[in-house]
Amino acid sequence: MSFRLSGDIKDKELFKNIIEVGVKNGGRLFYREDANGNIVELVYFSGAKRVSYIGEIDQQFAGIVRAEGARVKLLIFNESEGILKISQE
């Protein structure tokens, strides 16, 4: 039996824990910014996990995200196919 994790998290500490462990094990953090440079979408992805952060992003957390993550212009998750599409155009 194969399990996968997909979720939306508001708890900043839980999300930080997931990305801290996940990035060390090959996962990636992707984020998208608006025209003002504010992070508006944040997703951790690995082969078996897709976790979106839907909580508040303060300046300290934004610094962590920018240091650990990759900025992209497009983030689309197709849940039925298990695919996260990104673009940096």
Domain containing 45: what range? 5-87
Of residues 84, 76, 89, the one with CA closest to residue 28: 84
CB atoms within 10 A of CB 57: 17
Q: How many domains does the chain fold into? A: 1
Per-residue confidence in pLDDT tens, the chain, 89 aa: 666 888 999 999 999 988 888 777 888 999 999 999 999 999 999 878 899 999 999 999 999 999 999 999 999 988 888 788 999 97
